[in-house]
Amino acid sequence: MILNGAARRPRTEANRSSVLEENELLARVRARDLHAFERLYRIYQPRLARFLFNLVQRPQLVEEVLNDTMMVVWDTAGNFRGGSKLSTWVFSIAYRKAMKAKMRWPDPVEEQPFDPRVSNDPGPDEELEHQRLHDALMKAMNELSADHRAVVDLTYFHGLGYREIAEIMHCPVDTVKTRMFHARRRLKQAMSGQMFDWI
Amino acid sequence: MPSDPHEQAEELIPWYATGQLDAADRALVDAHLASCARCQRVLAGEQVLIGEFQAMSPEIDSGWAQLRGQIEARPPIRPGIRESLAEFWELLKRPVVAAIATAQVAFVAAAALLFQWISQPTYVALGSGQAPNSANVIVMFRPDARESDLRSAIAGSGGTFVGGPTEADAYLLHVPANGREAAIGKLQKNSQVTLAQPIDGPQ
Look at chain A and report how many structural domains it folds into.
2
A74 found inside a domain? yes
Q: Compute the nearest-CA separation of B154 from chain A (Å).
A: 26
Look at residue A3 and tell me if it is in a domain: no
Least confident of A152-161, B47-56, B100-109: B100-109
Chain A contacts of B68, Cβ < 8 Å? Answer: 34, 38
Closest CA to A171 of A96, A118, A72: A96
Is the CB of residue A14 less than 8 Å away from at least one CB of chain B?
no
Q: Is A28 within a domain?
A: yes
User: Domain holding A155: CATH number?
Assistant: 1.10.10.10
The DSSP bridge pattern shows strands B170-174 and B193-198 to be unpaired
Instruction: Check whether residue A100 and residue A187 sit in a common domain.
Output: no
Spatial CA neighbour of B199 closest among B153, B134, B109: B134
Q: Can you give the length of chain A in residues? A: 199
Comparing CB atoms, the residue among B14, B41, B67 nearest residue A70 is B67
Position with higher pLDDT, A95 vs B91: A95
Nearest by CB to residue B63, choosing from A6, A67, A184, is A67
Domain of A51, in residue numbers? 11-110
Q: Does B86 touch chain A if contact means CB atoms closer than 8 Å?
A: no
Q: Which amino acid is at B17?
A: A
Residues A81 and A138 in one domain: no
What ipTM was reported for this prediction?
0.75
- In chain B, residues with a C-beta closer than 8 Å to the C-beta of A118 are 55-57
Range of lowest pLDDT (A17-31, A159-173, B8-22, B136-150): B136-150
pLDDT at B110 over 50: yes
Whether residues B19 and A199 touch (CB distance < 8 A) is answered with no
Cβ atoms of B156 and B175 within 8 Å: the answer is: no
Q: How far is B200 from chain A (nearest CA, A)?
A: 37
Identify whether residues A18 and A103 lie together within a single domain: yes
Give pLDDT, residue A131.
77
Instruction: List chain A residues with CB under 8 Å of B47.
Output: 3, 6-7
Average pLDDT, whole number, for chain A? 80
Per residue in A35-85, pLDDT tens? 999 999 999 998 999 899 888 888 778 888 999 999 999 999 988 888 888
**One domain, residues A98 and A168:** no
Query: How far is Cα of residue A194 from the mean position of the Cα atoms in its chain?
Result: 24
Cβ of B10 within 8 Å of Cβ of A137? The answer is: no
Q: How far is CA B161 from the centre of its chain?
A: 23
Residue that terminates a domain, selected from A66, A83, A110: A110
Question: What are the angstrom distances between the C-alpha of B78 and each of B48, B81, B116, B153, B191?
Answer: 51, 9, 37, 17, 19
Residues A77 and A26 in one domain: yes
CA–CA gap between residue A73 and residue A67 (Å, rounded): 10
Compute the distance between CA of residue A137 and CA of residue A125 in angstroms, rounded to an integer.
Answer: 18
Same domain, A23 and A67: yes
Q: In terms of domains, do A15 and A66 share one? A: yes
Asked, for residue A115, whether it belongs to a domain, the answer is no
Question: Is the model's pLDDT at A1 over the cut of 50?
Answer: no
Final residue before a domain boundary, out of A64, A85, A110? A110
**Which of A54, A79, A110 delimits the end of a domain?**
A110
Q: What is the rounded average pLDDT of the residues B119-138? A: 55
Residues A65 and A155 in one domain: no
In chain A, at which residue ranges do the beta strands (DSSP E only) sit? none
Helices assigned H by DSSP within chain B: 5-17, 23-33, 37-55, 64-73, 81-92, 95-119, 147-157, 180-189
CATH number at residue A82: 1.10.1740.10
